[in-house]
Amino acid sequence: MEYRAFLIKYAEIALKGKNRYLFENALVDQIRRAIRDVEGDLRVRKEQGRIYVECHSDAYDYEECLQALQRVFGIVGICPVVILEDQGFDQLTQDVLRYMESFYPDESLTFKVNARRARKAYPLQSMEINARLGEAILDAFPKTKVDVHHPKLLLNVEVREKIYVYSQEIPGLGGMPAGCNGKAMLLLSGGIDSPVAGYMISRRGVSIEAVYFHAPPYTSERAKQKVVDLAEQVSMYCGPVRLYVVNFTDIQLYIYDQCPHDELTIHMRRYMMRIAEHFAGEDHCQGLVTGESIGQVASQTMQSLAATDQVCTLPVYRPLIAFDKQDIIEVAQKIGTYETSILPFEDCCTIFVAKHPVTKPSLKSIGKSEQKLKERIQELVDQAIETAETIEIGM
Ligand code: ATP
Ligand code: MG
């Protein structure tokens, strides 16, 4: 006996009416996308508030399909299902016994049969199905026991057009399907934090685009490739990502020339935000996302974050704001970005950092130093925007 389908469980039960419909459609889209490269003819079907992934070819890759589903936001549980033709109740009983034999060879377990008759014309009622199948199992496997309160095995038998039998629920990621809650622009560096930040915001149903600032020749092509790889890894969860690669060298050199060196990171960050906002506006994003967390480095104190926020008109979302580094690392490991993130390529921020950066910049002094950039900065920003490279990832 083998699993030929998956029943997809999703939560967010507060969703009603139109929102529920949007949620379900977004979920179906994301599932289709996640399994499109899995071997076998797999189809997604929505039926009476349920979503099924069903195999229509002789063979498919069960493990690969399961792993793909485990990357889809919005799924709370994945139940592998055996689909049976309706050939009468006696045949169903035989098939259920075979199911038990195949998947639960250890017979000394407690169980409960949970029948649901979605097809009302079926000759037996749910309670009768429960009783008869329960009895047949007890007879065939004398070591089993019925436990209606806390069974080890809950054997679901759903009578639809065909009959669906399942008993296992593999946890999904939870959250909401990407795309059902708008779009945000992620500032993606090659570090550990920003890919995790993108993953987390996307888990709430937000699709993402990304912008990466590099500083050739101070940063290498390999550093850029690392960010492209990270964007690809994140897009396995959050869907297609449009990545803007912005040449930040001239802006950085100009800031380095004109501004006090202990403020460099703050000024750079403010221009990164402004440029990110430009692309966010073009692509109708509703917010910016960064991997910042309070106190992690000098540029992430409350004062520094305020200095960064001052130049933004869009809301800035920082999903990791209260995370310890170790917690962030754990998520990075779980989602598979960690190994790429720790590759030792230079980042544009680390090349121009001061030995003793300000930790409590005042908005007033930052504003004053920024005046020193007046002459050329707009021209340099325009140039950076014009020469940005666009890479479509995971389309
Ligand atoms: P990360 O691991 O994400 O690089 P970090 O601890 O190195 O974070 P910073 O370098 O201070 O922290 O960067 C803070 C945030 O600013 C990053 O999480 C990212 O969102 C953004 N950022 C930093 N550098 C870049 C860059 N070169 N391109 C795009 N965004 C960047
Ligand atoms: Mg970084």
Residue 176 lies in a domain: no
Cα dihedral 245, 379, 369, 313 sign: negative
pTM for this prediction: 0.92
Residue 177 lies in a domain: no
Ligand 1 atom at minimum distance from 192 CA: 2
Q: How far is CA 339 from the centre of its chain?
A: 18
The verdict on the CB of residue 299 being under 6 Å from ligand 1 is yes
CA distance 265 to 270: 9
The verdict on the CB of residue 180 being under 6 Å from ligand 1 is no
pLDDT tens digits along 318-351: 999 999 999 999 999 999 999 999 998 777 666 6
Same-domain check for residues 202 and 82: no
Q: Which residues are registered as beta bridge partners of 164?
A: 83, 158
Same-domain check for residues 19 and 148: yes
The burial class, CB within 10 Å (0-12 / 13-18 / 19+), for 367 is middle
Same-domain check for residues 153 and 258: no
Tokens linked to 71: 């990357």
CA distance 63 to 43: 16
Same-domain check for residues 187 and 165: no
Domain of residue 310, residue span? 183-393
- The whole-number mean pLDDT for each consecutive block of 10 residues of the chain, a chain of 395 residues, reads 93 70 90 93 88 92 95 96 95 97 88 94 95 97 95 95 95 93 96 98 96 94 96 96 98 95 94 98 98 88 94 98 97 97 80 80 94 96 98 93
Residue 161 lies in a domain: yes
Same-domain check for residues 125 and 233: no
Residue 178 lies in a domain: no
Residue 16 has what pLDDT? Answer: 67
Q: Which residues are registered as beta bridge partners of 8?
A: 51, 78
- Measured from the alpha carbon of residue 269, the closest ligand is 1
Domain boundary among 130, 148, 171: 171
Domain boundary among 113, 148, 171: 171
Residue 238 lies in a domain: yes
Same-domain check for residues 142 and 232: no
Q: Ligand 2 centre and the CA of 160: distance in Å?
A: 53
The verdict on the CB of residue 30 being under 6 Å from ligand 1 is no
CA distance 375 to 259: 13
Residue 303 lies in a domain: yes
Are residues 141 and 100 in contact, defined by beta-carbon separation less than 8 angstroms? yes
Same-domain check for residues 297 and 373: yes
Are residues 290 and 153 in contact, defined by beta-carbon separation less than 8 angstroms? no
Same-domain check for residues 119 and 46: yes
Query: In this structure, which residue's CA is closest to atom 26 in ligand 1?
Result: 189
Residue 18 has what pLDDT? Answer: 76
Residue 351 has what pLDDT? Answer: 66
The verdict on the CB of residue 188 being under 6 Å from ligand 1 is yes
Q: Which of 299, 312, 311, 303 is nearest to 362 (CA)?
A: 303
The verdict on the CB of residue 331 being under 6 Å from ligand 1 is no
Task: Pick from 185, 186, 187, 266 the residue to mutate for probing ligand 1's pocket: most ligand atoms within 8 Å of its CB.
Answer: 187
- Measured from the alpha carbon of residue 292, the closest ligand is 1
CA distance 230 to 391: 13
pLDDT tens digits along 368-378: 999 999 999 99
Domain count, the chain: 2
The verdict on the CB of residue 103 being under 6 Å from ligand 1 is no
Q: Which CATH number characterizes residue 74's domain?
A: 3.30.2130.30
Residue 136 has what pLDDT? Answer: 97
Residue 284 lies in a domain: yes
CA distance 247 to 265: 16
CA distance 273 to 310: 10
Same-domain check for residues 227 and 375: yes
Q: Which CATH number characterizes residue 356's domain?
A: 3.40.50.620
CA distance 319 to 277: 18
Only one residue has tokens 């340099």, namely 380
Q: Which of 202, 224, 213, 192 is nearest to 296 (CA)?
A: 192
Tokens linked to 289: 């996302």
DSSP 8-state symbol, 261:
G
Same-domain check for residues 165 and 187: no
Domain boundary among 141, 171, 201: 171
pLDDT tens digits along 103-151: 998 778 999 999 999 899 999 999 999 999 999 999 999 999 999 999 9
Task: Pick from 185, 188, 192, 194 the residue to mutate for probing ligand 1's pocket: most ligand atoms within 8 Å of its CB.
Answer: 194
Same-domain check for residues 142 and 225: no
Same-domain check for residues 23 and 153: yes
Are residues 84 and 158 in contact, defined by beta-carbon separation less than 8 angstroms? no
Task: Pick from 193, 264, 299 the residue to mutate for probing ligand 1's pocket: most ligand atoms within 8 Å of its CB.
Answer: 193
Are residues 165 and 96 in contact, defined by beta-carbon separation less than 8 angstroms? yes
CA distance 68 to 52: 14
Residue 14 has what pLDDT? Answer: 56
Residue 231 lies in a domain: yes
Are residues 320 and 293 in contact, defined by beta-carbon separation less than 8 angstroms? yes
